Amino acid sequence: MRFRAASLPAAAAVSIVLLASNGAGAQSADPVSARISAQSLRGHLSFLASDLLEGRATPSRGQDLAAEYIAAQFRRAGLEPAGNDGYFQVSDWKYAERDMSQFAFTVQAGGKTLSVPASAVDLRVREAVSLKDAAVVTMPWLEAMKDAARADGKLLVLSMPADRRAAYEDLRKFTGKPALLVLVDGSRTQGSAANGWLVEEGPPRPRDAMRSVVLYDAPAAAALSAGNATVTLNVPGPVERAVKLRNVVGVLRGSDPKLKDTYVMLTSHYDHLGIRNGDIYNGANDDGSGTVSVIEIASSLAAQKTRPRRSIVFMTFFGEELGLVGSRYYGKHPVFPIKDTVADINLEQIGRTDDSEGARVNAANLTGFDYTSISATLQRAGKKVGVKLVKHPVNSDRYFAQSDNQSLADAGVPAHTLSVAYEFPDYHGKDDDWDKIDYENMARIDRMVALGLLDIANSGKAPAWSAVPNAAKYLEAAKKLK
């Protein structure tokens, strides 16, 4: 939708939605499920994914307003503030941004010139780039990994394998020095639409250390692969400014004298893509749905007369769309000791049921499904509320390292991301709006998550990593925590 000026002052809008989100709970046999309401979820999301918040980009006024709203909901639920500034874990950053009106990417092949829009690329370059009529070298993926030097100083085009996790592992070991690497990704048609990034201390991450462009434009990709193509590319350089960013965190303290100092986490990211070319990208499903679910589940569990044995941490991260930045910051600067954190369930895209592979009703997916015992816990909870937790044959592994569970998993904490639709029609699009959410289905998913979370929090036995090959490095990290 097109950008339009907000008609209400921010404080007034927050107050109105706080009242609107006091919906009655669904009828259910157990008190935890009974307090989770589709009406309440709709009230929260109709605010967080409204035009007033301007797409919640990191950083932005809209994201700041979202953080205040989430903190207000945590306060109302009775959670204890757990940040270095009340409910906020505040951190100082430099934000680099470039003027994409100066971006240009053309492919010349077969006497034709194709222009690639900025929306069809992800830029993995941190400085200005200027190439004119650069000759293209194409190679099969495995051949390029074995003979890296062959494309040194040239523009190398590679088609990404289906297993993105393995592909980025290959790139971490890649020793070639091309002038630019163009990675063709046929799995999507749009990039992240991010024009800026947060400047982090230390060396760049492996995926950012090499000058590369991820290309999602099919006609341009075909032209590059046909041979005898040249590329002209202009990427403007960035301008930096200082910003303060906030993860939002509250805790429901446990009741057991020993277990209360161990922590179960429920997380999401509350940022999205902001405004692009005058359009507001509201991010209702990605990840407004996960964020309002964290709020709703926190309210339900905090309202119970009996406290869980372990403490439960409810947290929403900034900067996921810029590369999991907020959750990675938490991994480096944890509020609660990593060694005492027993699990994390991260919620991502749980409001839409129109998955690209077909409708997903009363069902959810878990990344790294067989990596830990958490899947079995959630399956038991799902049976109580009519939701089936399933393992996607490809995406369970493919997406494990692509959401906010990753920093905790890398540290050895059993951590997964739960989703309903991995890919849906409006993913990273301007029409991911709150009126397209299936709130009744989302409420059922939330009931499963709440019961599973409570099961983990009340169990004397913490979740554990499984001895499966893909979980081996996480299992080793967990051993170091003991």
Average pLDDT of span 473-480: 97
Helix axes 289-302, 439-458, angle to 10 degrees: 50
Task: Write out pLDDT tens, residues 8-60.
Answer: 444 444 544 544 444 444 445 699 999 999 999 999 999 999 999 999 999 99
Give the confidence band of 482 by pLDDT, cuts at 50, 70, 90.
Answer: confident
Span of 218-222, 357-361, 368-372 with lowest mean pLDDT: 357-361
Average pLDDT of span 341-369: 95
Given the structure tokens 């399956």, which residue do they identify?
Answer: 379
Amino acid at 401: A
Cβ–Cβ < 8 Å for 433, 339: no
Report the Cα 421 to chain-centroid distance in Å. 13
d(CA 6, CA 243): 24
For a pLDDT cut of 90, what percent of the chain falls above it? 77
Give the confidence band of 193 by pLDDT, cuts at 50, 70, 90.
Answer: low
206 DSSP assignment = H
Cβ–Cβ < 8 Å for 364, 389: yes
Average pLDDT of span 362-377: 98
Q: Across the chain, what does the average pLDDT equal?
A: 91
Average pLDDT of span 125-136: 93
CA 208 to each of CA 127, 168, 273: distance values in angstroms, whole numbers, following the listed order: 11, 11, 20
Q: Assess whether pLDDT exceeds 70 at residue 303.
A: yes
Cβ–Cβ < 8 Å for 409, 400: yes
Average pLDDT of span 452-475: 98
d(CA 351, CA 443): 9
Give the confidence band of 347 by pLDDT, cuts at 50, 70, 90.
Answer: very high
Amino acid at 470: N
Cβ–Cβ < 8 Å for 325, 246: no
| 203 or 283, which is more confident | 283
Cβ–Cβ < 8 Å for 474, 412: yes
Write down the pLDDT at residue 204: 59
Query: How do strand 354-355 and strand 358-359 relate by DSSP bridges?
Result: antiparallel
Q: Number of H helices and number of E strands within the chain?
A: 15, 22
Torsion of CA 239, 65, 84, 199, to 10 degrees: -20
Span of 136-145, 205-214, 228-237, 465-474 with lowest mean pLDDT: 205-214
Give the confidence band of 106 by pLDDT, cuts at 50, 70, 90.
Answer: very high
2 DSSP assignment = B
Write down the pLDDT at residue 25: 40
3-state secondary structure of 51: helix
Residues 6 or more apart whose Cβ sits within 8 Å of residue 254: 260, 261, 262, 307, 308, 309, 310, 311, 312, 457
End-to-end CA distance of the chain: 51
Write down the pLDDT at residue 1: 37
Q: Assess whether pLDDT exceeds 60 at residue 207.
A: no
Average pLDDT of span 280-304: 98
Task: Write out pLDDT tens, residues 232-284.
Answer: 999 999 999 999 999 999 999 999 999 999 999 999 999 999 998 789 999 99
Write down the pLDDT at residue 257: 98
Shortest CA distance to 451 belongs to which of 39, 78, 33, 77? 33
d(CA 128, CA 112): 26
Write down the pLDDT at residue 209: 57
Write down the pLDDT at residue 166: 81
Give the confidence band of 6 by pLDDT, cuts at 50, 70, 90.
Answer: very low
pTM for this prediction: 0.84
Task: Write out pLDDT tens, residues 46-103.
Answer: 999 999 999 999 999 999 999 999 999 999 999 999 999 999 999 999 999 999 889 9
Write down the pLDDT at residue 191: 79
Q: Assess whether pLDDT exceeds 60 at residue 205.
A: no
Half-sphere exposure of 59 (CA within 13 A, CB side): 19
Write down the pLDDT at residue 227: 82
User: Domains in the chain, start-ordered, CATH in brackets?
Assistant: 10-94+243-481 (3.40.630.10), 99-237 (3.50.30)
User: Tokens representing 410?
Assistant: 């890398």
- Please calculate the CA angle 248-278-439 and round it to the nearest 5 degrees: 50
Compute the 3-state secondary structure of the chain and give helix, strand, coil in percent, each to the nearest 5.
Answer: 35, 25, 40
Span of 121-125, 194-198, 335-339, 416-420 with lowest mean pLDDT: 194-198
Give the confidence band of 188 by pLDDT, cuts at 50, 70, 90.
Answer: confident
CA 420 to each of CA 81, 286, 356, 437: distance values in angstroms, whole numbers, following the listed order: 30, 11, 11, 11
State which H helix or E strand residue 170 sits in: helix 164-173
Q: Assess whether pLDDT exceeds 80 at residue 450.
A: yes
